[in-house]
Structure 1
Amino acid sequence: MQKLLFILNESPYGTEKTFNGLRHAVNLLEEHGKEVEVKVFCFSDAVLAGLSGQNPNDGPNVQQTLEVLAGLGAEVKLCTSCTKARGITQLPLVKGVSLGTLDDVSDWTLWADKVINF
């Protein structure tokens, strides 16, 4: 089983990097679910992807993509320090998303066979 850690850093709607990272992870699980295990850690403005209630007028819906990803068994965490810095720690999160720490992402890095950054 291939263990993959995705690290996301970009705003979910400022660029397409976060969305592309998430859809890549979804595709891997949908096409190779028995061969891969996926974890996603969001730093910086990527933590905004984990907020519930997203309703973009155009383009991809990152919340829906995260819900699919979590439904496929991926573990998703947002950097707690990054959410505190942005004043969003107390806001509701997408189902399947939780807060994490630097210790979590460090453990996941050692767990992973590959680390993919977006």
Structure 2
Amino acid sequence: MKLLIILNDPPYGTERSFNGLRMAHALAKNDPAAEITVFLMADAVVCAKAGQKTPDGYYNLEHMLGRVLSARGRVLMCGACMDARGLRAEDMVDGAARSTMDELAQATLTADRVLVF
């Protein structure tokens, strides 16, 4: 099954991106053959910023994205959203890829399920 998870919220301050990544991890765990794509839009592109330092015991979205990537998932980031926030590809976690709305459209059209957080 092809699954597309679209995140819109910043990594911290709300729990929507956190919950979306929890769902991505649970889906990968329950169906190892699933093809999971996480698309980061708007403030969610900051979730993929490398070098996040959170207090002990607090969730870290950079690490959670790493779990998606290690489960053979894809992490795509809206390029226009990155530009608006002054983020460069070298600022981001390894494995996350700069993307476009056209690529999001294609991922949407080929997905069996789309979840939006």
Mapped pair 1:45 → 2:32: no
Shift of residue 91, structure 1, vs aligned partner: 4.4
Partner Cα distance (1:91, 1:85) in 2: 16
The answer to whether the 8 A contact 1:80-1:89 is kept is no
Separation (CA, whole Å) in 2 of partners of 1:99 and 1:26? 21
CA contact (8 A) 1:51 1:91 kept: no
Corresponding residue number in structure 2 for 1:88: 87
- 2:4, 2:113 within 8 Å by CA — same for their partners in 1? yes
Structure 2: how far apart are the matches of 1:23 and 1:94?
Answer: 18
- What is the TM-score of this pair, normalised by structure 1? 0.93
Aligned residue for 2:109?
A: 110
Describe the superposition over 1:17-59 as per-residue Cα deviations: whole angstroms up to 9, x where unpaired.
001101110111012112x211010100000001100011152
Aligned pair 1:13/2:12, yes or no? yes
Corresponding pairs, count: 116
TM-score w.r.t. length of structure 2: 0.94
- Check whether the contact 2:89–2:98 (CA below 8 A) recurs between aligned residues: no
Where do 5+ consecutive residues of structure 1 fail to align? Answer: none
TM superposition shift of 1:89: 2.3
RMSD: 1.1
> 2:69, 2:22 → 1: CA distance?
12
Aligned to 1:7, the other structure's residue is in SS state strand
Distance 1:46 1:10 in 2: 5
**Other structure's SS at 1:73 match:** coil
Q: Post-superposition shift, 1:88?
A: 1.1
